[in-house]
Structure 1
Amino acid sequence: MRQIFMGIGILAGLAACTPAEDAQMPHVWTTLNGQAPLVIAHRGASGERPEHTLEGYTLAIEQGADVIEPDLVMTSDGVLVVRHDHYLSTTTDVADHPEFADRRRTQGDQTDWWVEDFTFEEIRTLRARQPWPQRDQSFNDQFLIPTFEEVLDLAAAHGVRTEPEVKVPGHFAAIGLDPLPELVRILRERDLDGADASTSIQCFEPEFLARLDGEVETPLLMLVFPMIELDPTADPLTPTVALADAAGFADGVGPSKSLIITPDGGDTGFVAAAHALGLAVHPWTFRDDVPVAEGVDVETELRQVYALGVDGVFADFPATALRVRSEMSGD
């Protein structure tokens, strides 16, 4: 185990004080490091701009996000570009490019355009689109698809952390586009390969993170979801990777919200169990415009998970997560 993810905020462990003094004291957070939980701009300020664009990340930074999150996929010529999916139809204007009509093909049970069939130069001719129909569509077809290195440049210029997710690395490796060597090269060239790096790498595939753990000291985040989604007979609170196993190569876990909190706001014990193993907890995903449960809005949900001691939250609308955190801090 290397170092715990760095946070921001006010140290806990405050001494006892009089009631008058207590009214002036900051909120005591129960995160691993005693600091306020990180607000991670999920795909940028993706609720307000097309996801994974420099413009969306910039808006999140302007709003005060502590971390920006790029998802990484690889082009046919080995460039790490930023998209949530390795298919392109939902988040780009690829269907409007007649020159790419013959690139559409079936892979698995989906017919689409796939990033691994495009060179970086070709990807640069595409423009980003907002995939959520209820969100602002007025910025469609304006913004480029950035590279990982461009996002790192932006983050460095503004002094914020990054938390990139490597998408389906096993698939890319199987077709001869293993993302690990290029990722390691970029991390090393930018001095982001140490335990104190201003970035941390996340992935749903434990094999990839275990390999990466052998190459760099960069903090790693194991993404997990309920095993019941793969095995209907599984306990709903069993994660896809056991916490004890994740602790062998990762510094934190990124669980689906349903693993840490019940529909009525109850504590499942996941956060405490992860903390006992020294694992930071960054749950996903908090969205202002997606119903949480009857009578529960996203602000209530954020207060509930902040109270559990999570170390960070992935939010499509980072301004909301920041505001709720500030209110709880008494700022």
Structure 2
Amino acid sequence: MVRRLLIAGLLAAGAALGAGSAARAGQPEVIARNGTAITFPEATLAAFDLAILQGADSLRVDVYQTFDGVLVIRTDRNLAATTNAASVLTPPGPIKGEPAPIGFPIDFTSYQDYARLTARQTIPGRDNSFDGMFSAPILEDLLVLVERRQSERRRTIGLLIVLHDTQVHAARGRPMEPRLISTLQKYGFAASPDVLIGASEPSSFARLGGLQGRRVFVLGTPNSRPADAAQTGDRRSFADYATADGLRSVRNFADAVLVDVQDTLGGLDDGAPVPAVVGNAKAAGLQLFIGGYADADNPVQPRRAAIAAYRRAFDLGADAVVTDEPARALAARRHGH
């Protein structure tokens, strides 16, 4: 009961904070990564709802697909990493022609089994008292929530939908992209300019066809390659894509690039040289999104230091920041611009 009252209080406080806080024209966007994930378990409807009520302009939504083709919201392919899968599910068996899975991969799991799961906090040091309280949602659950909140609050709530393991499903003959398009059409989001589609696999963008909305190329760790490299024959690493030539090639299939504040930008420390990727992205005609704030690799900082970090990103010309703590990023934008 105490936890439920706390949730109600947090959401009520968020409602007060978020009134009228949508991004104004010409200002950088604040995108909540899988909700306000410093408060509730990430990628739950509670976390997304709090981010909306705090005034986040958009939500980053990490989407995977179950074995039987349902689009679900998680932040790790292995369900044991973010849910109670290890205690309620039987480890999945192999799929013909593929290696036996390790753990509980989403793409080896049926929706019937997925629907039994509850989410848990994944980052050490954060409040885990909400573990087991919220179900692991599917994409349709979030679209219903966003539709309702847009109507209630009379403002647009953007979505950055990041697709994962797209090559896995394409190779099995069950690509994710047509399912995404039909789902967005079902809820009236397919033609929205505020719905962005992200991926780390360039071939995924080709399967989106004529779907409207900006495409966002998500850069992985510098020394790794996109998961579709073997199929496309493109052996470039993400570090190669971050160069001036690489970003010019990205402009052929994407409108923006999402870089990690730690992996790609070295943390954006005060006084450090402006990372080359900033100018290279702008020169290539790409919008620049900077993510990784307050996540597992970038611990939550004291308020003053956190706001200074967001201001530096805005001052460098970032078009958006992606963060687990949207309220602080919004405060930095209010006071710095």
Confirm or deny a common fold (TM above 0.5).
Answer: yes
1:180 maps to what in 2? 177
Residue 53 (structure 1) shift: 0.6
Check the 8 A contact 2:93/2:101 in 1, yes or no.
Answer: no
Matches within 5 A, 1:1-331: 9-11=23-25, 35-97=26-88, 100-103=89-92, 111-159=102-150, 160-194=157-191, 196-212=192-208, 214-225=209-220, 227-229=222-224, 239=242, 242-257=246-261, 258-260=263-265, 262-264=268-270, 265-287=272-294, 290-291=298-299, 297-329=305-337
TM-score normalised to structure 1 length: 0.79
In 2, the alpha carbon distance for the partners of 1:269 and 1:292 equals 26
How large is the Cα RMSD of the aligned pairs? Answer: 3.0
Indicate how the Cα distance of structure 1 residues 230 and 222 shifts in structure 2: closer, same or farther if over 3 A, else same: closer
Which fold has the larger relative contact order, with Cα–Cα distance below 8 Å and residues 6 or more apart in sequence? 1
In 1, the alpha carbon distance for the partners of 2:238 and 2:217 equals 20
Indicate how the Cα distance of structure 1 residues 224 and 235 shifts in structure 2: closer, same or farther if over 3 A, else same: closer
AA paired with 1:280?
Q
Check the 8 A contact 2:59/2:158 in 1, yes or no.
Answer: yes
Residue 105 (structure 1) shift: 7.2
Q: Deviations over 1:77-105 (max 9, x none)?
A: 211011112211111011111xx234377
Check the 8 A contact 2:32/2:322 in 1, yes or no.
Answer: yes
Residue 36 (structure 1) shift: 1.4
Structure 2, unaligned runs of 5 or more = 1-20, 151-156, 227-235
Q: Secondary structure of the equivalent of 1:164?
A: strand
Indicate how the Cα distance of structure 1 residues 45 and 104 shifts in structure 2: closer, same or farther if over 3 A, else same: farther
AA paired with 1:101?
T
Residue 230 (structure 1) shift: 5.4
Q: Secondary structure of the equivalent of 1:285?
A: strand
2:233 maps to what in 1? none
Indicate how the Cα distance of structure 1 residues 301 and 292 shifts in structure 2: closer, same or farther if over 3 A, else same: farther
Structure 1, unaligned runs of 5 or more = 1-6, 12-34
Residue 109 (structure 1) shift: 9.9
Residue 291 (structure 1) shift: 4.7
Check the 8 A contact 1:71/1:165 in 2, yes or no.
Answer: yes
Q: Secondary structure of the equivalent of 1:266?
A: coil
Residue 137 (structure 1) shift: 0.1
Residue 62 (structure 1) shift: 1.4
